[in-house]
Amino acid sequence: MAITDAWLTEKVSQRQITITKYADYLWLLDARGVAYLPACDWLIVSDLHLEKGSYLRSYANPLPSLDSTATLKRLEGIIDDYQPKRVISLGDSFHDKHSMSRMTIEDRQHLCRLVDKVDEWMWVEGNHDPDLPDGIPGTPCFEIILDNMVFRHEPENEEPKAQVIGHFHPKMRTAIKRRRFSGKCFVNDKHIFIMPAFGQFTGGLDIDDDVVKALISPSKRDVFMLCDSIIFKVK
pLDDT (tens digit per residue) in 17-33: 999 999 999 999 999 99
Question: What confidence score (pLDDT) does residue 20 get?
Answer: 98
Q: What is the mean pLDDT of residues 43-70?
A: 79
Contacts of 40 (CB under 8 A, 6+ apart): 25, 85, 86, 146
Domain housing 119: 5-234
1 pLDDT exceeds 70? no
Q: Is the pLDDT of residue 164 over 70?
A: yes
Supply the pLDDT for residue 160.
Answer: 95
CATH number, domain containing residue 210: 3.60.21
SS3 state of residue 85: coil
Position 222 confidence tier, pLDDT thresholds 50, 70, 90 = very high
- What is the C-alpha to C-alpha distance for residues 230 and 31, in angstroms, rounded to an integer? 5
Give 63's pLDDT tier (boundaries 50, 70, 90).
low
Residue 36 vs residue 181, higher pLDDT: 36
- Predicted local confidence at residue 66, as pLDDT: 81
Mean pLDDT calculated for residue range 194-207: 91
pLDDT band, residue 180 (cuts 50/70/90):
confident
Per-residue pLDDT at 223 exceeds 80: yes
Q: Is the pLDDT of residue 58 over 70?
A: no
DSSP 96: S
Domain count, the chain: 1
pLDDT band at 64 (very low <50, low <70, confident <90, very high): low
Cβ atoms of 191 and 162 within 8 Å: the answer is yes
Rounded to whole angstroms, the Cα distance separating 95 from 88 reads 17
The predicted pLDDT at position 57 comes to 67
